[in-house]
Amino acid sequence: MPDAEVPLFARIVRAAVAQQDTIDHMLAEALPADWPLARIDPVLRALMRAAAAELAMAGGPPAKVVINEYLDETFPAVPLRPADALGRARVRAWTLYIATEPTWAIKAPSY
């Protein structure tokens, strides 16, 4: 695996396995009642468990980094952000603007 951090990967997998019951309970509570955890694709379920374990790690990466990486892995065919540095900077700037401006800054279209 190029650029893989094998010790970090092993730590995440061990944490996900050790905390699987707790993680599964949290995931099941977040799902609609008519959508049991077992209904989710096993690979996606494993990714969600790994993401939850990584988010819970002491000294782990920031949540936004974890979420972004897992989205990139889950939906590789759909680029969620531009490939070039300038495009990513623009997306970050707009995201920051939307997150910090009062709601009046977002104008609904009038018909």
Q: 54-82 in b/e burial notation, b at 16+ Cβ within 10 A?
A: beeeeebeeeeebeeebeeeeeeeeeeee
* pLDDT one-digit tens code per residue, 39-93: 988 888 898 899 899 988 888 778 888 888 877 777 777 666 777 888 878 877 7
pLDDT for the residue 1 = 47
pLDDT at residue 24 tops 90: yes
**Full-model pTM:** 0.62
Query: Does residue 19 have a pLDDT over 90?
Result: yes
Residue type, 73: E
Write the CA distances from 93 to 11, 61, 89, integer angstroms.
33, 21, 6
Which residues in the chain belong to E strands, given as ranges?
none
Instruction: Indicate the DSSP class of residue 31.
Output: S
Query: Cα separation of 83 and 95, whole Å?
Result: 17
Q: For residue 18, is pLDDT > 80?
A: yes
Model confidence at 108: pLDDT above 70: no
Check whether 107 has a pLDDT greater than 70. Answer: no
Reduced to 3 states (helix: H, G, I; strand: E, B; else coil), residue 36 is coil
Three-class DSSP category at 39: helix
